[in-house]
Amino acid sequence: MKFQKKILAHKTAITFINAFFIVLALGAKFLFQQNAVYDIGMALASVFGVLPIAIQAYQAAKVKVVSIDLLVTIAVIGAFIIGEYNESAIVTFLFLLGHLLEQKTLEHTRSAIQQLVKLAPATAWKLVGNEAEEVDIDEVEVGDQLLVKTGAQVPVDGLVIEGTGYLDEANVTGESKPVFKEHKAQVFAGTILENGTLKIEAQRVGEDTTFGKIIELVEEAQDSKSLAERFIDRFAKYYTPLILVLALIVGLVTQDVRLAITILVLGCPGALIIGVPVSNVAGIGNGAKNGILIKGSEVMNTFSRVNTMVFDKTGTLTNGKPSVAFAKFYEDSPKDYLSLTAAIESESDHPLGKAIVDYAQQQGKKKIAAINVSDTVVVKGKGMAATADGVRLTIGNKALMQEQAIAIPAAIQQDENTLQLQGNSVVFVAVEKHVVALIGIKDQIRSGVSDTLAMLKSNGIERLIMLSGDNQTTAEIVGKELGLSEVHGGLLPEEKSAFIRRLQAEGEVVAFVGDGINDSPSIALADIGIAMGGGTDVAVETSDVVLIQSKFENLVHAYRLTKKTVLNMKENIAIAIGTVLFLLIGLIFGYVYMASGMFFHELSILIVVINGMRLLSYQTKSSKLDRNQFVEMEETVE
């Protein structure tokens, strides 16, 4: 038993030893005409090469499985007995090489995922007494008290025990605005503390958090089998004994051992057995390398047939956080009202105020901190007033303007109405009882979403649908801008799930793309559930595909990759079956013998492995379409 484990543990080394003796033998024969050394080298290569194959065949036979390894083992032993050492050596080498390439693709997949999960927090600030010390995330246990500082990720799921602050958790709740957290509030791993300081008590740690499960999910994906692989397993279960019996009968009837062994060698469906798993693993590896977790080849098959894609709005089609979409100043002044406004808002924790500060910084206003702000008055739910560098500003909503008896001219009211129709939260800026600026803030559409949706449609997605918990008017504003097929607003999670069921009842193959707990029922119910990787662990766990880095544009690559992988599997099956038919016909008509037949047979194994591994380097062409090009393309198709 120990010997068997040791041999299988060093299978890669044995493959290289096998190759070394083959090269040594070929060099002795063709460079130095040493035929005896040639035979010895090939014999040694055969002995070393057949060991792991024979052990795997024995282990399968113990559980009453007649495996492909058994077929290869008998063929190699037979060739060795009749003195065809070169054939037996080459058979073992190519068979081991095929498995080695498959193993390397699997390792490449895991390596790519491990690099991606480095995005997760690696450390946490653990409270020991009154002191905080930075510890490795693996050292955090349930019940530990942790400190989360401004700008940091929450390292675990837990409860706030002290402090307040705004957390960006659109990936969990679907709420586009940062959420205020105080004592006893729930916090989730991977969310970002935008301001404030929190002390939390850990409730879920380690592998139970979102990113900790990704490696486990990849391994599960690689263990899963597609319909094609299950068919091949059943095929091999009956095909292998059939070839063994056929070779035995031919050998007994013709008394031609070489012919019987030739049937064993040529009948070995190595390319068929290896080709589909290699395509599957290579496709998963390509996805991992590009920030896409695809959970198994069955997902590949189903995703490639999707014709309807449904999207959540907040955090999926949009950024999930408010930002300035419109800013207009109504009078010329030597005073820089944007900088003054940002300086006042920098003293506030309000999400809309933070959006204004961010906007001012983006506009190159770098001296905000140097502005002197005094006499600050906060009007809860309406806004604030303060003096900045001697100028008294009132900043807030329309209700605050009315409360302060600040008149709003008709032109500005018209701009306000337009902004509201576009889904903006409107902020007025007034100086000395008259409005000087209007700022529109909203959760804006992700960069590149329009191009991505257009490319999805051009690649075979017939319907693009958005479901949202926002009101219908707000949802339609986003839907119109993106050119979606359908938009449905005001939906609760259970209503989204019911909508998915209706689509499936109509015969649609549906993919749902979301990011939060509220999306999990729809993600689980859809034919293909797709989660943004920054989302909650529930969404990631229930999904079939995860966009690990939350890059929406990766959706196009994921969809094209599944189509490419399924096509690659079909190509490998065709190559394998075509080779077997070619060799059998050649054997019947006397055109194929052991040496030539073995060459083509093992060559087919190499071809399907190389063809499968091409998927590792597959990249989606970066052909961006703007909205006008897309419309023109649709009109051309029609």
Is the distance from CB of 170 to CB of 314 less than 8 angstroms?
yes
Q: How would you classify the pairing of strands 308-312 and 510-514?
A: parallel
By the 10 Å C-beta count (0-12 exposed, 13-18 middle, 19+ buried), 617 is classed as exposed
Cα gap 266→599, rounded to integer Å: 10
| Sequence-ordered list of residues with C-beta below 8 angstroms from that of 338, at least 6 positions apart, any chain | 327, 329, 359, 360, 363, 365, 437
Is the distance from CB of 289 to CB of 620 less than 8 angstroms?
no
Nearest 5°: CA angle at 141, between 138 and 147?
90
The β-bridge partners of 157 are 204
Is the distance from CB of 307 to CB of 461 less than 8 angstroms?
yes
Is the distance from CB of 528 to CB of 303 less than 8 angstroms?
yes
Nearest 5°: CA angle at 182, between 176 and 186?
65
- The neighbour count for residue 102, using CB atoms within 10 Å, is 20
Structure tokens at 191: 């969310």
Nearest 5°: CA angle at 213, between 207 and 214?
145
Active site residue 312: yes
Phi-psi sector, 432: left (phi>0), alpha (psi -120 to 50), beta: left
- Report, in angstroms and rounded to the nearest whole number, the Rg of the chain calculated over CA atoms: 33
Q: Which residues of 205-238 are buried (b: 16+ CB within 10 A; e: fewer)?
A: beeebbbbbbbebbeebbeebbebbeebeeebee
Cα gap 447→518, rounded to integer Å: 24
Residue tagged active-site, from 312, 336, 443, 515:
312
The β-bridge partners of 14 are none
The β-bridge partners of 204 are 157
Cα gap 550→566, rounded to integer Å: 24
Q: How would you classify the pairing of strands 145-148 and 510-514?
A: unpaired
Cα gap 61→257, rounded to integer Å: 24
Annotated catalytic sites, by residue? 312
